[in-house]
Amino acid sequence: MLWIPDRKTLKALARIKRRRRRQRIARFLLFLLMLFGLGAASAPPEHDLQTQVDTVTAPQQFDFIDWESQAIAGEIGRRFAPPTIPTDQTEKQALVERFLQLETDMRRLEREIGLIYAANNAQPPNAATLANVVDLEQELARLRAAQIEMAPQVETLLAQQVEAVLRDEGFTAAGQVFPPVAFRLIDPPTALILSPRDKIENQHFVGLQPGLDNGIRFEIEKTIDQRGDVSSYITNVGGLGSYPTMVINTPNLPALIDIIAHEWTHDYFFAFPTNIFWGYQTYPRLTTINETTASLVGKEISRKVIIRFYPAWIDSLPPLDETGQPVPQKPSEFHLAMRSIRTQVDQLLAEGKIEEAEAYMEKERVKLVEKGYNLRKLNQAYFAFHGSYALGADSVDPIGPQIRRLRAASPSLKVFLDRIGWLNSYDDYLDWLAEANIKQDERIR
C-alpha cells in the first residue's frame, strides 16, 4: 500500500530538511574558517608545550567545533525565521526586565542553597533542612527553564538594538551591519592562560569546560607548572569572541550590553587580515591594544543603547569626562594593591629574579586573602590575562589612557576601530601615537 504523508507530516519533514541544510551550511562555513585560519603544521615533539598542554587538558577541553557548528546553524535559522518579539517599545523593555529579574532571583537562590550547605560544615543536612533545599532547587530549576525559554527572544532583541546603534555609527555593508551582531547567553568556557616565567606575557590560551571545579583547576595548573618554564592560571571569563559570541548572563543591563558589544568588536577585527592572522597573535602588545579597545567600545555602545532604548537605566551609567569618555573607575584598596604588586614584579623579572618575584606574589596574595579578597592564585599568568585589559582600575599599563586619547582624537568610532584593525605591529601603534602627539611611556617594551 502506498503511504501518502499528511500535511502535518510534510511540514515536519520540511523542517527536518531545512535544519539539515542549515547544519551543512554551518559545517561548510566552519570548514572555511578552519582552512584559512590554520597554517601548515607538522607533528610536534613530545616535550613541545602545545603537546603537553593538550595531553593534560584533553578530558576538560571545550569542543569549539561542535559548539560552533550548532550555533552557526541555529543563527542561520534565526536569520530566516527570527523568534517573535514584541513590537511595542514598552513591551520590549518589560521582556528584558523580566529576563534580568530571573537572573537576579536565580543568583539569590544559589546563594541561599550555598549558605545552607556551608552552615552544615559539609555534613548532610537534617530532614527539615533537606526538604528546604529541595524546594529551593526545584524553584531554581523552574526559573532556569523559564529563562532558557525566553533567551532566544532576548538575544534577538538585544542584537537588534545593538545593531541599530552600530548602523548609526556606519558599520554597514550593503545596508546591513557587518558583521551581524550574534551572541548566545551562556556560561562561556573556562580559560587556561599560560605565561613565560621570566616575563608577563599572554603566551597561550586553552578553552576548558565552563564552571570547572577548583580541584581540577589546581591539578591542571600543578602539572603544567612542573615544566618549569611557564606559569599557568585558570579563570572564568565574561565572554568569548567566537561566532556567535558567547556572553555570560548578568542582571546588570549596561554590563550585559557592554559584553555583547565588546565581543562583537573582536568579530569586527576578524575582518582585518593583518590584525587577526598574524599581527594579533605575534605581538602581545597588540593583544592588550585590542582587548583595551574592545573594552572601550563595549562601554561606548552600551551607553548609547541604554540612552536610546532603556532610559530607566540611565542613572546607573558613569559620568563622562571632558573628552566624552566615561570617567575612569576610582581604584579600590584591591586595585591599588595589585598596581603596587605588578610594578614590583615587573622590576624583579626585569632583573632576572624569577623565584624572588614568585615568592613575593605568593606573600602578597596571602595578605589579600587575609583581608577577605578571594584570590586563588597570583602569578605571571594571572597578570598576563588581567593585564590585557588596560582600562582596568588596577592596570599599570599606559595603553589604557593612550587608547582613550586616541578614541577622543578620532572623528568617529568607525575611523578609530578601522585604524586599530589595520595595526600589524607595535611600531604601527607607536607611529599613530606620534601622529596624535601622545607621549610614549618608557616602561613599554
Q: DSSP for 166-209?
A: HHHTT-EETTEESSPP-EEES-PPEEEEEEESSS----EEEEE-
Cell of 322: 571632558
Contacts of 64 (CB under 8 A, 6+ apart): 189, 207, 242
pLDDT value at residue 282: 60
Reported for 62-67, long-range contacts at CB under 8 A and 24+ positions apart, including other chains, are 62/189, 62/190, 62/207, 62/208, 62/209, 62/210, 64/189, 64/207, 64/242, 65/30, 65/34, 67/242
Are the CB atoms for 207 and 62 separated by under 8 Å? yes
Please calculate the CA angle 305-311-312 and round it to the nearest 5 degrees.
125
Are the CB atoms for 198 and 354 separated by under 8 Å? yes
- Are 302 and 420 contained in the same domain? yes
285: closest CA among 198, 176, 128, 402?
402
> Within a domain: residue 3?
no
Are the CB atoms for 155 and 218 separated by under 8 Å? no
What is the domain count for the chain?
2
Amino acid 5 reads P
Q: What is the 3-state secondary structure (H, E, C) of 307-366?
A: HHHCHHHHHHCCCECCCCCECCCCCCHHHHHHHHHHHHHHHHHHCCCHHHHHHHHHHHHH
> Within a domain: residue 87?
no
Taking CA atoms, 99 is separated from 60, 196, 309, 312, 346, in Å, by 30, 42, 16, 16, 44
CA–CA gap between residue 239 and residue 210 (Å, rounded) = 11
> Within a domain: residue 330?
yes
- Are 269 and 417 contained in the same domain? yes
The boundaries of the domain holding residue 65 are: 17-33+55-81
> Within a domain: residue 360?
yes
Cell of 265: 568588536
- Burial track 149-175 (b if 16+ CB lie within 10 A, e otherwise): ebbbbbbbbbbebbbebbeebebeeee
pLDDT value at residue 29: 54
Amino acid 10 reads L
- Are 413 and 278 contained in the same domain? yes
The rounded radius of gyration (Å) of the Cα atoms in the chain is 24
> Within a domain: residue 62?
yes
pLDDT (tens digit, 0 to 9) for every residue of the chain, 445 residues total?
Answer: 444 545 554 455 455 555 555 555 555 555 445 444 444 333 445 457 888 888 888 899 999 888 888 888 888 888 888 899 999 999 999 999 999 999 999 999 988 887 777 666 555 666 767 777 888 899 999 999 999 999 999 999 999 999 999 999 999 988 899 999 999 998 889 999 999 999 998 888 899 999 888 888 899 999 999 989 999 999 988 888 788 999 999 999 999 999 999 999 999 998 887 655 555 556 678 888 888 999 999 999 999 999 999 999 999 998 888 878 888 778 889 888 999 999 999 999 999 999 999 999 999 999 998 998 888 899 999 998 887 776 766 677 888 889 999 999 999 999 999 999 988 888 889 999 999 988 776 334 3
CA atoms within a 13 Å half-sphere pointing along the CA-CB vector of 320: 11
Cis peptide leading into residue 244 (ω within 30°): yes
- Are 61 and 200 contained in the same domain? no
pLDDT value at residue 86: 93
CA–CA gap between residue 17 and residue 11 (Å, rounded) = 10
CA–CA gap between residue 301 and residue 323 (Å, rounded) = 16
Amino acid 296 reads L
Please calculate the CA angle 385-412-297 and round it to the nearest 5 degrees.
25
- Are 228 and 376 contained in the same domain? yes
- Are 68 and 190 contained in the same domain? no
> Within a domain: residue 322?
yes
CA–CA gap between residue 29 and residue 151 (Å, rounded) = 25
- For residue 207, report the phi and psi dihedrals to the nearest 5 degrees: -85, 125
> Within a domain: residue 412?
yes
- Are 188 and 311 contained in the same domain? yes
301: closest CA among 326, 283, 280?
326
Helix (H, G, I), strand (E, B) or coil at 113: helix
> Within a domain: residue 151?
no
Q: DSSP for 68-95?
A: HHHHHHHHHHHHHSPPP--SSHHHHHHH
